[in-house]
Amino acid sequence: MRTDDPPSDPPPDPALIEADVYRCFFERSAGASCLFDLETRRVLQANPAFGALYGYNQDAIAGLTFDDLQTDPHDTGVLLARVVAEGSLTLPYGRQRRRDGRPFPVGLRLFPFAVAGRVVIGQISWDRSGLQHLENTLEAIIAATSPVIGDDYCRSLVRTLAQVLEVDFAAICLLEPGTGDEDDCLRSLAVWGDGAVSDEVCYPRVGSLCAEALRHGVCLIPDRAAERFPGGALLQTLGIQAYVGLRLQDGAGNPLGVLMTMHRSPMIEGSMIAQVLQVVAGRLSAEIGRQHSEQALRRSEADLAAILDSETDSTWSVDRAYRLIVGNARFAEAYQQVYGHLPLPGADLIPLQGPEVALPWQALFDRALAGESFMFSYVSDRSGAPRHHEIAFSPIRSDGVITSLRGQSRDVTDRVTAEIAQQRSEQNLRSVIESSPEPIWSIDTAFRLTAFNVSFSDGYAAVMGRPPVLGDVVLDDSAVGPVYRAGYERA
């Protein structure tokens, strides 16, 4: 780079100045523009915007070369070769040097054209210093907030925004819908004000600046905010002059709330602050959505647990690796009685058993995980007194794919005990009937035999000439038939 203003070079070739492409270039270029010779790399002409951007007056531009603008002159040849080979080259974000030697960010567009027998390179430049400031700001915010999630992320974000953007207040406020628009309110999720965490605030949506942000997506008031919105009690109380608010929304576009900054002095960089909020709003909205999903999941889990615990049966579910997913209170009670501790989600149920027990249970699990629903009886005697259970297994499907199984066990010991007692009573009764010397029999309403003892069978055979068979009609056409019929009908 030159430290002294070089002597003026001869004026550009008149043929170059008179060329249509030359006039068109300088008339239509919106940025800082210059032309330089590809062979000598000397600047042939530059507009006033170029001199202002790079710090050169018109006399100093004479004799300036393309190399003088580069932070690393060794890359100049490669860059120019790309321009010639590709026909044009756009660099949205590059770096060049000003006259004082300081590098600064620029956007560049370079393109070649032939004029008066020479190849000329046109350069249009845009100052990207504001973008650099924005990027530095975002890097600082991301570095401070990336390690945390949930409420910690929200608190870290408002603190970092206030500190990096140098504003008095930063806040995240969530929309709480009421029964109507007039009843909607905004409640703070995280607030940083005057260098410390602030108390929770809740205020009506109607009449607030946040209502403007929710309606339009963004609300930027660079000065006199309290004066312009006299109905905003919070603005008046805090003496707010400047406000930037951005609507937060979920993936479907439904409003979640507002991310905002407030300052007691006018904001010079309100647009840049709005850009910063726009960038961080994506992750913040996702974080809020995740929190809402987790809250909904916890509510669903609580509802499910309440439903499961209200069941008198032991109920549980197991994934395809035989790990416990969830179990109700009855399951936990039975599990603790057997294994001495409460079950934990993720516990592998198969290794808890000995091989002689584990393999049959694994086979039953596999049947359900293969898609079969079935019931079976099971007797446990770990406590020394046999307990009878009816167990049902069924597959659980998600999007048509079996992901787990549901088990349900009902203790039917009392019922089985009663059935056994009844069977024994019936056996005793049959024994008494069979051993009785008196004929004993029973019939249905159609007078068909349903049961009889040996004495009845012998008497029946003596009268009818054959032994009785269940289902025989005991009335005949003999004279005693009507007598028996009358007795049967009375019974």
Domain ranges of the chain: 14-127, 132-294, 312-415, 436-490
What pLDDT, on a 0 to 100 scale, did the predictor assign at position 482? 63
Task: Give the contacts of 331 (CB within 8 A, at least 6 positions apart).
Answer: 314, 315, 316, 343, 409
Give the pLDDT band (50/70/90) at residue 7.
Answer: very low
Section 468-474 average pLDDT: 84
The percent of residues above 90 in pLDDT, for the chain, comes to 15
* DSSP line for 416-448: HHHHHHHHHHHHHHHHHHHH-SS--EEE-TTSB
**pLDDT of 102 above 80:** yes
- The tens digit of pLDDT for each residue in 129-179 reads 766 666 777 788 888 888 888 888 899 999 999 888 888 999 999 998 876
pLDDT by residue (tens digit) across 432-442? 777 778 888 88
Exposure class string for 241-250: b at 16+ Cβ within 10 A, else e: bbbbbbbbbe
> Which residue type occupies 449?
L
Residues 394-426 pLDDT 10s: 999 988 899 999 999 988 888 888 888 888 877
Assess whether pLDDT exceeds 90 at residue 106. no
Q: What is the distance in angstroms between the CA of the first residue and the CA of the last residue of the chain?
A: 128
Query: Could you give the CA distance from residue 161 to residue 190 in angstroms, rounded to a whole number?
Result: 12
Q: Is pLDDT above 90 for 366?
A: yes
Class of CATH domain 14-127: alpha beta
Residue 10: its pLDDT value, please? 43
DSSP per residue over 315-354, as a string? EEEEETTSBEEEE-HHHHHHHHHHHSS---TT-BSSTTS-
Q: Do domains 132-294 and 312-415 have the same CATH topology?
A: yes
pLDDT in tens, 182-237: 678 889 899 999 888 887 888 888 878 888 999 999 999 988 888 888 777 778 88
CA distance 267 to 221: 8
What average pLDDT does range 99-105 have in this prediction? Answer: 88
Q: How many CB atoms lie within 10 A of CB 187?
A: 13
Residues 84 and 437: their CA atoms lie apart, in Å, by 126
132-294 folds as: Beta-Lactamase (3.30.450)
Please give the model's pTM, rounded to 2 decimal places: 0.49
Q: Using a pLDDT cut of 70, give the percent of the chain over it.
A: 86
Residue 9 pLDDT class (50, 70, 90 cuts): very low
Predicted confidence (pLDDT) at residue 12 exceeds the cutoff of 70: no
Note the pLDDT tens digit of each residue in 39-49. Answer: 999 988 888 88
DSSP letter string over 28-57? H--SEEEEEETTT-BEEEE-HHHHHHHT--
Tell me what the mean pLDDT of segment 39-60 comes to.
88
Report the pLDDT averaged over residues 71-91.
84
Q: Where are the beta strands (DSSP E) in 178-250?
A: 185-193, 196-197, 202-204, 218-221, 242-249
Residues 6+ apart with CB under 8 A from 391: 375, 376, 377, 378, 407, 408, 409, 410
CATH topology of domain 312-415: Beta-Lactamase (3.30.450)
